[in-house]
Structure 1
C-alpha cells in the first residue's frame, strides 16, 4: 500500500504560503498586442535615426505619423525595449539602485591592438509576434564580434554568458567599456571582469560617441537582417543573426 505524500501541498495551501490569491496562481501573462508590437517596431526604427529622442519627442513623432498615443504608453514601451535616449545633461543612463558605476577610461586613449579594449551593448530585436534582446561583445580595434547571445528578458545572465564565451575564446581584454545599464553594473558582470583582471570603463554621461562602433553594428544588423525578416521563433532569430 502506498502512503499518501503529505509533502505535496494543495493549490490553496501553496497560495497561502506564497501570500498570493488563487487567481494570481493561475494567471498567465499576456504578450503585447499587435498594435503595441507595431509601435515598438516604429520606435526602434526611429531610435536608430534619432537616438536623442526621449519619450516626449518620440510621442510627438508617432502622433505626426498618425498614431494616437500618449506619453505614458510610449514611456512604458521604450522602457520595455530597454531604450535610453542620449541627453546632453546628466541622466543618460540609469544603473540599478545600489549598483556601483565606474569612470570612463578611454578619454585620450589610442587603441592600437586587439584585446586592448572591448565594448558591449544590448539592443531590441523585433519578431513577428514578440521581441527579443541581443547582446554583443566587440573588439574596438578589429571591430570583430567576439560573442553574442539573445534573450527574452533583460536580466544580466545572457550578458555574462556572452562575456564568458569571449574570454574563453580570446582571453581577457585590458579594458571593457559599456554604458551604465543595470546589466553592466550588476555584480555578476563586474565581478567576472574584476576576477579576470579587466579594468572596467563606463560611458560618460552625455557621451553619445563612446559606443559608436557597436551602435553602427546594430544599425547594419537591423536594416540588413532583422527588419527584412519576420522571425517567428528564437531559433530562427539565432540562425538569421549568426548568418
Structure 2
C-alpha cells in the first residue's frame, strides 16, 4: 500500500515537473493540492519531502553568490604592508575590493576604493563583468579626486585584477605603495572593521 502511494505521488510530481522543473517542495505541495485530492491522496509537506528525497527527486538550489577573487595566477603577489600599521589620517591607506550585486538579469560587479581612515568610498565603478577595466576605472577616479597621495598605500586581496601589470603599473607611476593580504579573507583585508561607506562626490 505504501509503495503504491509513493508511486502515485511520484507520477503526479513528474507530470508537474515537466512545466516547472525547479519548483521546491513547499511550492510543489501547494500547487499539487488539487491533484492529490482528485487522486484521494493525503500527502503532507514532510511526507512529500521524504518521498522525493527517497527517489532522488529533490531540486538542487541554484548558486546564490558570485566568486569575485581569483588568486591562482602568474602575476606577482605583494607583501602585506599594513598588518601592524596604525592608520591616523586620510589618504594613508586605500582599501580596494570587488563585491557583487544580484539583479533579475544576473550579477553586476562593484569595484570600490575606500579610504581606510575616513571609510569613505573615493572611487567606484559598476560593470557587468569581472574584467580589469572596472577596477582600473575605480582607481583612476580615486586618484583624480585625491588632493595628496604622498606616501599612500594601496591595499587589496591577491585577485588577478589587482595583481595585473596594468593595475600595478598605475600604482607605481603614481608612487603608491602596493600592499596585499596574506590570505584572501575580507576580515584580514579590513581588519574586522565595520565599514560605513559613503560615496564622496
TM-score interval, smaller chain? 0.5 to 0.7
Cα distance in 2, alignment partners of residues 69 and 213 from structure 1: 35
Q: Does 1:114 align with 2:105?
A: no
Partner SS for 2:89: coil
Q: Output the TM-score relative to the length of structure 2.
A: 0.61
Q: Does 1:82 align with 2:67?
A: yes
Contact 2:111 2:126 survives alignment (8 Å) = yes
Give structure 1 stretches of 5+ with no counterpart: 1-34, 36-66, 85-93, 222-240
> Do the aligned partners of residues 141 and 157 (structure 1) sit closer, same or farther apart at CA in structure 2, a change above 3 Å counting?
same
TM-superposed CA distance for 1:210, in Å, is 2.4
Contact 2:98 2:112 survives alignment (8 Å) = yes
Matching residue within 114, 131, 134 for 1:138: 114
Cα distance in 1, alignment partners of residues 75 and 184 from structure 2: 20
Give structure 2 stretches of 5+ with no counterpart: 1-21, 23-57
Matching residue within 181, 186, 200 for 2:178: 200
Cα distance in 2, alignment partners of residues 112 and 68 from structure 1: 52
CA deviation profile, 1:21-77 (whole Å, cap 9, x unmatched) = xxxxxxxxxxxxxx7xxxxxxxxxxxxxxxxxxxxxxxxxxxxxxx7338xx75xx7
Aligned to 1:68: 59
Cα distance in 2, alignment partners of residues 208 and 166 from structure 1: 21
Cα distance in 2, alignment partners of residues 207 and 153 from structure 1: 21
Matched residues, number: 144
TM-superposed CA distance for 1:131, in Å, is 1.8
Partner SS for 1:114: coil
CA deviation profile, 1:104-129 (whole Å, cap 9, x unmatched) = 01121110011110001001101122
CA deviation profile, 1:218-238 (whole Å, cap 9, x unmatched) = 9x89xxxxxxxxxxxxxxxxx
The structure having more radius of gyration, on CA atoms, is 2
Q: Does 1:184 align with 2:162?
A: yes
> Do the aligned partners of residues 121 and 164 (structure 1) sit closer, same or farther apart at CA in structure 2, a change above 3 Å counting?
same
Q: Does 1:209 align with 2:194?
A: no
CA RMSD of aligned residues (A): 3.3
